[in-house]
């Protein structure tokens, strides 16, 4: 108890220095946690993927479409439970800064394949039976103040023109990592309009979504689907939903690696700063350590005092950084929702934050602890006066 009391008193003896060190550690831990969260969110779509869903796209690139006639042949493949399809629409609401994902889909089958999109039954039915209806995620609806029955107009980029939709439903996610920013509307509405304006692009889809009877048959079904269209004008590439999401993540993998490196560099920098602070503290108290030794305190006691002070300061900064992480994450989710539709701090990130703070304390305390516990009494007492 005496040692603990001494540690706490020593830690806050120089209040300004201690407060600045704690703030420095807190800022470093906050930055480390947010950067790690950003990396985790980049892979959120991969983690949310279902093992029972496959995605079929054009083998050349996702940019190239597939004929709508493929759907009937895919349904006949053994192991296929259901088939749906869709197109990335890329519409803009008023200004480019109001970006959110929007898709033209086959509504009934698509929504059945995504039980994580929770829609009231009456809203689901209204959407399915209204050709110009759409369903929008809760976050996007709150962002623009939309409600069911409102008419929303998007400016087409891939499909030029002004496209008006009536909001028939607002979905929410069943899990924290479910994207609640998307908008879905009828593929038939898109196709009928394209037939009149751009006939050559009609009856085409961007991707097929396949629900499996047994998830363990994913590889066999993928090969069977691709074999159907081998040597055709539009060959296919079928892969699991997770692999499909990873193909997008891999395009920016170098950026993610750079962010990870920066997160570790931040911790190393504050580790050096904390080590310098503790070294200054130990140098100022050499005479005190020598005096304690003359009173019968051993090297272990002195080492515990110095090391404990380093850990107390770093842990105080770590806890403060963790506390600040949550309002910072909420601000990012609110202000930058178009870029980060899901911004939640994982429990693992919190533990990594605290582990980083402990590591800072341990490393920063090594040299001062060694210096204080090994000082000779005569050398230390020479500094008095």
- Whether 351 is in a domain gets the answer yes
Q: What share of the chain is helix, strand, coil (3-state, %, to 5)?
A: 60, 15, 25
pLDDT of residue 107: 93
Q: What is the pLDDT of residues 40-88, one digit of tens each?
A: 777 666 666 677 899 999 999 888 999 999 999 999 999 999 999 999 9
Is 334 in the same domain as 289?
yes
CA neighbor of 320 nearest in space, from 370, 364, 287, 360: 360
Of 200, 234, 268, the one marking the end of a domain is 234
pLDDT of residue 354: 86
- The full DSSP string for 214-267 is SGGGHHHHHHHHHHHTTTSSS-EEEEEHHHHHHHHHGGGHHHHHHHHHHHHHHH
CA neighbor of 205 nearest in space, from 320, 102, 84, 25: 84
Highest mean pLDDT among 268-272, 286-290, 355-359: 355-359
> What mean pLDDT is predicted for residues 257-273?
81
Of 183, 207, 234, the one marking the end of a domain is 234
Highest mean pLDDT among 184-198, 260-274, 282-296: 184-198
Is 64 in the same domain as 167?
yes
Sign of the Cα pseudo-torsion (208, 213, 219, 225, in order):
negative
Highest mean pLDDT among 36-50, 216-230, 245-259, 348-362: 216-230
- Whether 333 is in a domain gets the answer yes
Is 29 in the same domain as 64?
no
Please determine, for residue 209, whether its predicted confidence score (pLDDT) is greater than 80. Answer: yes
Cβ distance 207 to 57 under 8 Å? Answer: yes
Tally of domains within the chain: 2
Is 34 in the same domain as 88?
no
Is 64 in the same domain as 39?
no
Is 164 in the same domain as 267?
no
Length of the chain measured in residues: 385
Please determine, for residue 336, whether its predicted confidence score (pLDDT) is greater than 60. Answer: yes
DSSP lists the bridge partners of residue 161 as 156
- Whether 188 is in a domain gets the answer yes
Please determine, for residue 151, whether its predicted confidence score (pLDDT) is greater than 90. Answer: yes
pLDDT of residue 135: 97
Please determine, for residue 1, whether its predicted confidence score (pLDDT) is greater than 60. Answer: no
Is 257 in the same domain as 230?
no
Question: Per-residue confidence at 364, pLDDT binned at 50, 70, 90?
Answer: confident
pLDDT of residue 46: 60
Of 178, 204, 234, the one marking the end of a domain is 234
Q: What is the pTM of this model?
A: 0.73
Q: What is the pLDDT of residues 303-320, one digit of tens each?
A: 677 777 778 888 888 889
Is 160 in the same domain as 78?
yes
> What mean pLDDT is predicted for residues 31-45?
77
Is 366 in the same domain as 288?
yes
pLDDT of residue 340: 63
Is 205 in the same domain as 259?
no
Lowest mean pLDDT among 181-190, 320-329, 370-379: 370-379
- Whether 21 is in a domain gets the answer yes
pLDDT of residue 126: 95
pLDDT of residue 237: 94
Is 165 in the same domain as 225?
yes
Please determine, for residue 383, whether its predicted confidence score (pLDDT) is greater than 60. Answer: no
> What mean pLDDT is predicted for residues 129-145?
93
Please determine, for residue 123, whether its predicted confidence score (pLDDT) is greater than 90. Answer: yes
Higher pLDDT, 250 or 246: 246
- Output Rg (C-alpha) for the chain, integer angstroms: 30
> What mean pLDDT is predicted for residues 146-160?
93
Mean of the per-residue pLDDT values of the chain? 83
- Whether 51 is in a domain gets the answer no
Question: Per-residue confidence at 342, pLDDT binned at 50, 70, 90?
Answer: low
- Whether 54 is in a domain gets the answer no
- Whether 242 is in a domain gets the answer no
Per the structure, the complete domain to which residue 304 belongs is given by 2-44+252-381
Question: Per-residue confidence at 337, pLDDT binned at 50, 70, 90?
Answer: low
Cβ distance 247 to 63 under 8 Å? Answer: no
- Whether 282 is in a domain gets the answer yes
Question: Per-residue confidence at 346, pLDDT binned at 50, 70, 90?
Answer: confident
CA neighbor of 267 nearest in space, from 330, 307, 314: 314
Question: Per-residue confidence at 291, pLDDT binned at 50, 70, 90?
Answer: low
Is 132 in the same domain as 265?
no
Quote the CA–CA distance of 351 and 329 in Å, as a whole number: 16
Rounded to 5 degrees, φ, ψ at 296 are 105, 0
What is the pairing mode between strands 117-118 and 161-173? antiparallel
Question: Per-residue confidence at 245, pLDDT binned at 50, 70, 90?
Answer: confident
- How many percent of the chain have pLDDT more than 70? 80
């Amino acid at each position: 108890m005496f040692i603990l009391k001494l540690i706490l008193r020593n830690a806050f003896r120089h209040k300004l220095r201690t407060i600045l060190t704690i703030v420095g550690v807190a800022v470093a831990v906050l930055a480390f946690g947010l950067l790690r969260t950003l990396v985790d969110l980049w892979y959120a779509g991969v983690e949310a993927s279902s093992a029972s869903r496959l995605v079929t796209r054009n083998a050349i690139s996702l940019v190239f479409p597939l004929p709508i006639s493929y759907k009937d042949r895919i349904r006949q493949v053994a192991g296929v439970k259901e088939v749906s399809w869709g197109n990335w629409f890329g519409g803009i609401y008023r200004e480019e800064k109001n970006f959110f994902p929007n898709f033209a889909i086959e509504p009934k089958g698509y929504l059945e394949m995504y039980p994580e999109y929770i829609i009231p039954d009456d809203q689901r039915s209204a959407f399915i039976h209204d050709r110009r209806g759409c369903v929008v995620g809760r976050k996007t609806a709150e962002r623009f103040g939309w409600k069911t029955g409102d008419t929303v107009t998007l400016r087409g980029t891939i499909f030029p023109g002004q496209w008006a939709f009536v909001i028939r439903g607002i979905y929410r996610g069943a899990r924290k990592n479910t994207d609640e920013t998307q908008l879905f509307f009828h593929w038939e509405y898109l196709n009928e309009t394209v037939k009149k304006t751009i006939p050559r692009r009609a009856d085409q889809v961007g991707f097929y979504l396949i629900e499996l009877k047994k998830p363990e048959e994913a590889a066999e079904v993928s090969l069977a689907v691709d074999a159907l269209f081998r040597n055709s004008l539009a060959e296919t590439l079928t892969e699991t939903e997770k692999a499909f999401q990873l193909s997008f993540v891999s395009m920016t993998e170098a950026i993610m690696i750079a962010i990870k490196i920066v997160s570790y560099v931040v911790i190393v920098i504050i580790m050096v700063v904390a080590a310098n602070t503790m070294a200054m503290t130990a140098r100022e108290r050499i005479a005190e350590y020598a005096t304690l030794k003359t009173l019968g305190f051993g090297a272990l006691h002195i080492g515990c005092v110095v090391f404990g002070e380093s850990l107390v300061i770093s842990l105080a900064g770590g806890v403060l950084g963790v506390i600040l992480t949550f309002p910072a994450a909420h601000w990012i989710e609110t202000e930058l929702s178009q870029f980060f539709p899901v911004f939640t701090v994982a429990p693992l990130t919190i533990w990594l934050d605290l582990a980083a703070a402990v590591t800072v304390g341990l490393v920063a305390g090594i040299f001062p602890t060694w210096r204080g516990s090994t000082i000779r009494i005569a050398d230390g007492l020479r500094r008095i006066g």
